[in-house]
Chains A and B, each alone.
Chain A
């Protein structure tokens, strides 16, 4: 009976290994910086998810005690990973993209990263 669970745990570990590898390989293969940003999202979802599932199964099936604090890792990753990605993306837009390179922003005319340079009534804190 335990061998079935061991197969299951091994399966999840292999899946996470494959996706972690593909994520890292993508960082090398993809050439433009915005596409590179896509590679780590794979490693943080299925890559980490597989290890966490394997860990939960291991503690429940083999060690016979319930351990769920792996779920917290998923929770914290889902909170922090999009913010990191957004920061990198905004930095890229700020330094490397012109408003004419991006699609039309509709009725707002500009994307927020570009619009920040247009605002004139920003209070000046630099003097005090």
Chain B
């Protein structure tokens, strides 16, 4: 078991790298599977010192739920933002900074949250506060900044907290 740990220090990364290699080759053959596995063993082994205290991922159903929620939100937000760009006069738009107090402490979780906020059209995460306790988000059109903050905390941060912490 201990030997297995040493060969596969990061089993998820091994799986992901193998999958990425097979997708790059774009066909499932023994050839690409073996080479993908070789990469999947060597890369986590070499990069191991760069992953101190990496968070344990638990709650896999929540990860799937989170991905579906984000995909759905991206589609919906795209339509909202398209409407703002096409039909709203630039003077009526209220761009706004929103400060989101973070309950997350794991750097990986904050990274995922910031990335999600940026990929959802209408909001871009711009900065962290000096000690990493707040996230600065710019909104394309937010008459009510508090509502944006509450929605992000409710929809994304709550789920990430269950995944990472």
Contacts and interface: CB of A to CB of B under 8 A. Distances in A.
Nearest to A31: B90
A30 interface: yes
Nearest to B26: A69
Interface in A61-106: 67-69, 71-72, 75, 78-79, 81-82, 85-86, 89-90, 92-93, 102-106
B99 A46 contact: no
Q: Is the interface of B mostly helix, strand, loop or mixed?
A: mixed
Contacts of A14: none
Interface in B58-103: 74-75, 78, 81-82, 85-86, 90, 93, 95, 97-99, 101
Contacts of B140: 30, 35, 38
B102 to A, nearest CB: 10
A19 B76 CA distance: 12
Interface residues of A, number: 48
Contacts of B97: 102-103
Interface in B110-157: 114-115, 118-134, 136, 138, 140
A104 B99 contact: yes
Nearest to B91: A31
Given A18-B82, A26-B85, A89-B125, 20 more contacts: A30-B85, A35-B93, A35-B140, A41-B118, A44-B119, A45-B74, A45-B121, A46-B74, A67-B26, A72-B23, A72-B24, A78-B119, A86-B114, A103-B97, A103-B99, A105-B99, A106-B99, A108-B133, A110-B130, A113-B127
20 contacts: A22-B85, A31-B90, A34-B95, A34-B124, A35-B95, A41-B119, A42-B82, A45-B78, A46-B75, A69-B24, A79-B115, A85-B124, A85-B125, A89-B125, A89-B138, A90-B126, A92-B126, A108-B131, A109-B130, A110-B130
